[in-house]
Amino acid sequence: MKKNILDFSYEELVEEFSKFGLEKFRVDQVWDWIFKKKAFDFNGMTNLSKEHRALLSERFYIGIPELLDMQISKIDKTTKFLWQLEDGNTIESVLLFHPDRVTACISSQVGCPVKCAFCATGQSGYVRNLSAGEIVAQVIAMEKERRVNIGNIVYMGMGEPLLNYNEVVKSVRILNHKKGKNISMRRISISTVGIPEKIVQLANDLPEVKLAISLHAPTNYKRDLIIPMNRKYSVEEIIHAVKEYQKITKNRVTFEYILIREFNDFVDDAEKLAELLRGIGAYVNLIPVNPVETDSEIKMERPHHWAIERFKEILDKHNIENEIRREKGTDIDAACGQLRRRHITSRKAKQTK
């Protein structure tokens, strides 16, 4: 049975190639074709002999997902991708364009088990974890489709990365490897709702990788209402893990805070958030909610402009570094999970006809 060559780390592939007599430098050649030249067929790797190409084709395949849909913002070039995997499941990825860099937001799971009230991904259910190769493939497939060089990666697409810990860590190491994408660890971020023991483990395994916490409320009462997993891992436990993480890494931690009108945008919320983050090297991203259809009793409506500014001013007063995130791709389905959800709904509708 053929194996996805992208699921192998460099060291694993060296060992695998040696089993059938291929030298280490052949791994260098193959990775150069895949990661640098975006060649996804062994037959096109012309510096390998025909015999070697045939040998590789017999044992491996290059698991690049099929592009089902791509939306490009006319405003800022933000690009949303819907991919179909080998088993027919779909995932999303996003490219964000900045003046000095291109950032990829990539998925780590098919769907998501966390079911945050404000997220379309969780509303469409959880299917499975992605393999390291399926995670890596999103990056090189986007580069080929849009002819760009991705310099920053954020694990902030579909899924909770720390619930797929081993494959996520493996994919980071593949993307960081000098023979692969060669992306600096410091340009890779992992965003999580907060799984305390995995946060500490991440500090030990990948101390240079950046950490972002999807917090979205400063108290357990409010966080329970929008992030069901908070009932298992409390705000206090997450903050304790962040402090342990910082002892090990000395890294500043980003806190994502989605602002929802008349739910978590009050003065009291801002004051409690500032108190919670006191003494932590923290940076807060304030994100006006992207309205989605949801079963939650909480209405997902954007706060008034003055309420957003008021929240920011309170954090400023307490010397909590923060910014209001500028929206990208407002003219496309840029919120995570929207494209996949629409595709699933459309497919179900066709099946019932």
Q: Which two tokens stand for residue 25?
A: 């430098």
> Could you give the dihedral angle defined by the CA atoms of residues 44, 47, 53 and 55, in that order, rounded to the nearest 10 degrees?
-160
Binding site membership for [4Fe-4S] cluster: which residues?
A: 112, 116, 119
**Interstrand relation of 126-129 and 90-98 (parallel, antiparallel or unpaired):** unpaired
Binding site membership: which residues?
A: 112, 116, 119, 159-160, 191, 214-216, 290
- 105 classed as catalytic: no
Q: DSSP string of 77-106? A: --EEEEEE-TTS-EEEEEEEEETTEEEEE-
- 92 classed as catalytic: yes
**Cβ distance 37 to 49 under 8 Å?**
no
Query: Distance between CA 292 and CA 37 in Å, rounded?
Result: 39
Candidate list 92, 143, 167, 256, residue with the active-site label? 92
**Cβ distance 216 to 227 under 8 Å?**
yes
Q: How many CB atoms are located within 10 Å of the residue 24 CB?
A: 12
**Interstrand relation of 66-72 and 109-111 (parallel, antiparallel or unpaired):** unpaired
**Cβ distance 157 to 94 under 8 Å?**
yes
Query: Distance between CA 323 and CA 335 in Å, rounded?
Result: 19
Query: Distance between CA 179 and CA 8 in Å, rounded?
Result: 13
Tokens 């206090």 correspond to what residue? 236
Binding site membership for S-adenosyl-L-methionine: which residues?
A: 159-160, 191, 214-216, 290
Candidate list 105, 134, 167, 336, residue with the active-site label? 336
Of the candidates 191, 163, 185, 161, the one whose C-alpha atom is nearest the C-alpha of residue 173 is 185
**Cβ distance 314 to 276 under 8 Å?**
no
Q: Which helix (H) or strand (E) holds 55?
A: helix 50-59
Which positions are catalytic?
92, 336
